[in-house]
Amino acid sequence: MKFAIEINKVTKTFGSLTAVDNFTLNIKKGEMFGLVGPDGAGKTTLIRELCGLSVPDSGDIFLLGMNIKKDRKKIQSKIGYLSQKFSLYGDLTVDENIEFFAEVHGVSGYHAKRDELLVFTRLKPFRKRLADKLSGGMKQKLALACSLIHKPEILFLDEPTTGVDPVSRRDFWKILSNLLSEGMTIFYTTPYMDEAERCSYIAMMHKGKIIAQGNVTDIKNKLDKSILELSSSNIIATNSFLKTKSNYSTQLFGDRIHILLNKQNEHEEIRNLLTSNNFIIEEYRFIPPSFENVFIYLVGNDYN
């Protein structure tokens, strides 16, 4: 079996809103797939359909060669799902939460697997602690352990590191790397561009549609423009001026402006335009396009 997940022309609407729009995608077995997009892009709706928790209006979904419409129960026994609001039981300990989910999935003799997961997630020293007493990052690792207790073949993760501290995010990715080495297929949704770049294959989603897909290099190559990074004495006013008084596409990144150029020699025109209007340029340089540059450009220019 080449593909773990096959999505064919899936559409889902809520009244006048089309959350998932004729979505087609195949994900290879053992792949780390990232679905990146802003809030409201349709990521959670799609992942719930893949897990059999919501029924699409049209289209077909196959997981591990089985049709989700016909074999939902069988598929659900072979997948793990960590939702944005995974429901841990705060008055149960770490051990008890894992035991509960093992019993829900009908897993017998789970004690060895539970102990393995506690070591795997570095939660063993906290196994007797109530879930409500865990930090945000530890709660996410416990939720992950609960979703792995039945040894799924595909793991769905819906923005699992949102609101989690940087150290816990790094730990979380180390755990996922180990799961990949064991052959698991991981479907990961995120609003964070840096996380998406860790995936072997990526799809950018906007308004229910794929606007770009491929590996990191493939997607970066979709932006056939030069990026001029510029800083000035008043970055907000400079960016506002360029947006209103020029035809250049600009993106504000902290105390820097990224300006998309068709040709590198256009930087002289920009410099003359700014200096003649009393803007002081402190520094400027050309930089390679970032993943975020590509996404903002595609969303802002072609898919409004």
Q: Using one digit for the tens of pLDDT, what is the confidence trace for 134-146? A: 988 889 899 999 9
Band of residue 28 on the pLDDT scale cut at 50, 70, 90: very high
- Output the pLDDT for position 1: 65
- Using an 8 Å Cβ cutoff, are 163 and 136 in contact? yes
- pTM value? 0.87
**pLDDT one-digit tens code per residue, 137-180:** 889 899 999 999 999 999 999 988 887 778 878 888 888 898 89
Section 275-293 average pLDDT = 89
**CA distance linking residue 269 with residue 274, whole number of Å:** 9
**CA distance linking residue 145 with residue 12, whole number of Å:** 31
| DSSP collapsed to 3 states, the chain | CCEEEEEEEEEEEECCEEEEEEEEEEEECCCEEEEECCCCCCHHHHHHHHCCCCCCCEEEEEECCEECCCCHHHHHCCEEEECCCCCCCCCCEHHHHHHHHHHHCCCCCCHHHHHHHHHHCCCHHHCCCEHHHCCHHHHHHHHHHHHHCCCCCEEEEECCCCCCCHHHHHHHHHHHHHHHHCCCEEEEEECCHHHHCCCCEEEEEECCEEEEEECHHHHHCCCCCEEEEEEECCHHHHHHHHHHHCCCEEEEECCEEEEEECCCCHHHHHHHHHHHCCCCEEEEEEECCCHHHHHHHHHHHCCC
Section 97-107 average pLDDT = 90
**pLDDT one-digit tens code per residue, 193-204:** 888 889 999 999
Q: Which of 177, 206, 196, 181 is nearest to 23 (CA)?
A: 206
| DSSP β-bridge partners for residue 284 | 230
- Is 226-288 in the same CATH topology as 3-213? no
- Output the pLDDT for position 303: 47
**CA distance linking residue 203 with residue 219, whole number of Å:** 9
Q: Domain boundaries in the chain?
A: 3-213, 226-288
**CA distance linking residue 293 with residue 152, whole number of Å:** 36
Position 302 pLDDT exceeds 60: no
Q: What is the mean pLDDT of the chain?
A: 90
Give the largest CA-CA distance in the chain: 76
**pLDDT one-digit tens code per residue, 215-250:** 988 898 888 888 999 999 899 999 999 988 888 888
Residue 78 has which token pair?
Answer: 């072979």
Superfamily holding 3-213: P-loop containing nucleotide triphosphate hydrolases (3.40.50.300)
**pLDDT one-digit tens code per residue, 41-97:** 999 999 999 999 999 999 999 999 999 999 999 999 999 999 877 778 999 999 999
- Output the pLDDT for position 257: 94
Q: Which fold has domain 226-288?
A: Alpha-Beta Plaits (3.30.70)
